[in-house]
Amino acid sequence: MPATIQLIVECVRETQQATEQLVLVVGKPGSGKSKLFRELAAMRGWEYVDCGTLLTEEFLELVPKVRPLEAPFIMGKILAEKKADVILLDGIQVLFAPVLNIDPLALIKQLSKKQTILAAWPGEFDGNNLLFNQMGQKGSQKYKAGNIKIIELN
């Protein structure tokens, strides 16, 4: 088993005892996050979920002001239906769309209180903050990492 996969499996195992059962695999686009997640799904039987499938009609019909409040319930219901030990959440860049009016990190953290989530963070980690660079925008959005388990891919 490659070292990265072994490290991820160990981090997920440790995280399953925490209040927030979240591990982030951080890497720029093209770093291999999606490939790694598909391998983990095949090897471990974990559930691979593309975030685009969480943006249901029910969610998109909500007025933007209500979306941050309802997102954890609507998306949490979809993930709970998977009945999976671990959710591999890929393609989270769709959650950064300003029109959605949600904080992607806060949403994922809230979802991870109900089940273990391994999420692919499309950006960088500077030691304290998770950075996300929206296509076509100058500068990066910063999110405090806090005590989230982070695995960086180069």
Strand 86-90 versus strand 47-50 pairing type:
parallel
Q: Any idea what DSSP says for residue 28?
A: -
Is pLDDT of 55 > 90? yes
Is pLDDT of 153 > 90? yes
* pTM as predicted: 0.93
Is pLDDT of 51 > 60? yes
* Residue 127 within any structural domain of the chain: yes
Is pLDDT of 138 > 80? no
Is pLDDT of 1 > 60? no
Distances (CA, A) of 21 to 13, 38, 50, 60: 9, 20, 18, 27
* Residue 27 within any structural domain of the chain: no
* Residue 11 within any structural domain of the chain: no
Number of domains in the chain: 1
* Residue 21 within any structural domain of the chain: no
* Residue 20 within any structural domain of the chain: no
The pLDDT assigned to 121 comes to 97
* Residue 50 within any structural domain of the chain: yes
The pLDDT assigned to 137 comes to 66
Percentage with pLDDT > 70 across the chain:
95
56-66 average pLDDT score: 95
Domain hosting 138: range is: 35-145
Q: pLDDT tens digits, residue range 8-45?
A: 999 999 999 899 999 999 999 899 999 999 999 999 99
Q: How many CB atoms lie within 10 A of CB 101?
A: 14
Q: Residues 117, 22: contact at Cβ < 8 Å?
A: yes
Distances (CA, A) of 96 to 9, 39, 42, 131, 135: 27, 25, 28, 12, 10
* Residue 17 within any structural domain of the chain: no
* Residue 24 within any structural domain of the chain: no
